[in-house]
Amino acid sequence: MWAADTSRPFTAPLKLKRVFSVVISPDGGRIVSCSDDNMIQIWDAYTGKALLAPLQGHTDYIWSVAFSSDGNRIVSGSSDKTVRVWDAETGEVLGTPLQGNSDQVGTVAISSDGTRIVSGSADKIIRVWDALTGDALGTSLQGHTDLVWSVAISLDGNLIISGSSDKTIRVWSAKTGEALGAPLLGHTDTVSTVAISRDSKHIVSGSIDTTIRVWNVATREALGVPLQGHAGEVWAVAISPDGNLIASGSSDKTIRVWNATTGAVLGAPLQGHTGVVSHVAISPDGKRIVSCSDDTTIRVWNLEFFTQSQFFESPAICFSSNPIHALCSPHSFLHEGLRTPVPLVPNEEGWIVGPDGRLLLWVPASLYPVVHVSNILVGSNDALQVDLSHFAHGGSWHKCRRDEVSF
């Protein structure tokens, strides 16, 4: 895992297995993860420490976890064909397992009012449960012709969205269980992940076909062209609380951030995972992305950089997770005619080199190897962050003797 405020890596207190899903508590203080060791772990989102002993009860892989809006309950779905509800404070299981699926439960969601749980299964069926009693509500939602990979519930509780290996997305009435309109068609392979905006106006879907699509809920039409950029299957999407950003995770081991309105990719891919990025979540305050991977790690990323960096006249050179420490006038370090910063990767001698051979920063050998994540350099022992906000450079080199200039 990585500390959210500094991007400094730290050692998790519990050796993780492949991590399949993560979710952030409504107050942003806890992260819940599930993995192929059949256990659920609750973490402190700021320190990375385990808050409780692992939650045990499932007898097979746990594929999905969800948090209730009051932060008191955790819901999980497993290959053991059951759904379980847990007390988020004590870690104790609440009631008996929710049973009814004939195959593994790969995805779960809980309504914002905390009254209903929705599960999707490899048996092609979606089920709705009473979150308090564990009873099945109404008849199961049937219509998909292949396994259901992902479900989501609208914030107002009226809609259920599902994605399936049958390459379609379906919209259901959460009250009646009826399919609303025809399936959404466009993906050419399994729809592995779906999300719905807080205003219930847009659906975002990701697919094994490597693309992301944005749909208008009212018209059921795809908006614009598919979002392309990942070099592998898209396994996870999330929408920021304000609806402006989309985060995605892929088998290409990267996370990407997109402008939800224009579909433009923002910045460079977030790199650090060494395996498939299986799930991503955005914190309720919209400031962090949490990701998990089958590389056995959970990572926390600073999402504010993608929103704050727009206030620079041009893209900034920054060796810190906080854009306020960026070089505010980086024109002399940008490629001629381009609006993108130069690659910030050390050469063989440890120098970060700009255009025309300009030397920007030397990284001591003791910090090797360094990891380049977007516009952040992270050392292997301790994170090195450099405040360049008062850096005297280019035509301002003579200001380096002034007292107000810091180095």
The residues spanned by each domain of the chain are: 19-304, 312-401
What single string gives the DSSP state of each residue in 135-189?
Answer: -B-SS-B---SS-EEEEEE-TTS-EEEEEETTS-EEEEETTT--B-SSPB---SS
Q: Which of 156, 192, 185, 189 is nearest to 173 (CA)?
A: 156
> Can you give the pLDDT at residue 9?
30
| 34, 19 Cβ separation under 8 angstroms | yes
| pLDDT value of position 310 | 45
pLDDT tens for the chain, 407 residues long, are 444 333 333 234 334 578 999 999 999 999 999 999 999 999 999 888 999 999 999 999 999 999 999 999 999 999 999 999 999 999 999 999 999 999 999 999 999 999 999 999 999 999 999 999 999 998 899 999 999 999 999 999 999 999 999 999 999 999 999 999 999 999 999 999 999 999 999 999 999 999 999 999 999 999 999 999 999 999 999 999 999 999 999 999 999 999 999 999 988 889 889 999 999 999 999 999 999 999 999 999 988 767 654 434 334 455 554 444 555 444 444 444 444 444 455 666 667 665 445 566 676 665 555 544 444 444 544 555 555 555 555 555 555 555 443 33
The half-sphere exposure of 262 on its side-chain side, counting CA atoms within 13 A, is 6
- Burial letters for 364-377: b for 16+ Cβ neighbours within 10 Å, e otherwise? eeebeebebbbbbb
Domain boundaries 19-304, corresponding CATH code: 2.130.10.10
Q: What integer pLDDT is reported at residue 374 of this predicted model?
A: 44
Separation CA 230–CA 268 (nearest Å): 11
pTM given for the model: 0.75
Side chain identity at 151, as an amino acid letter?
V
Tens digits of residue pLDDT in 249-279 = 999 999 999 999 999 998 888 988 999 999 9
Of 176, 164, 306, residue with least CA distance to 248: 306
User: What is the model's pLDDT at position 48?
Assistant: 87
Burial class (CB in 10 A: 0-12, 13-18, 19+), 90: exposed
How do 98-99 and 169-173 pair as beta strands? unpaired
Residues 6+ apart with CB under 8 A from 46: 3, 4, 5, 29
CA distance 177 to 126: 9
Q: Which 8-state DSSP code applies to residue 199?
A: T
| Token pair recorded at residue 213 | 């699509």
pLDDT for 10 equals 29
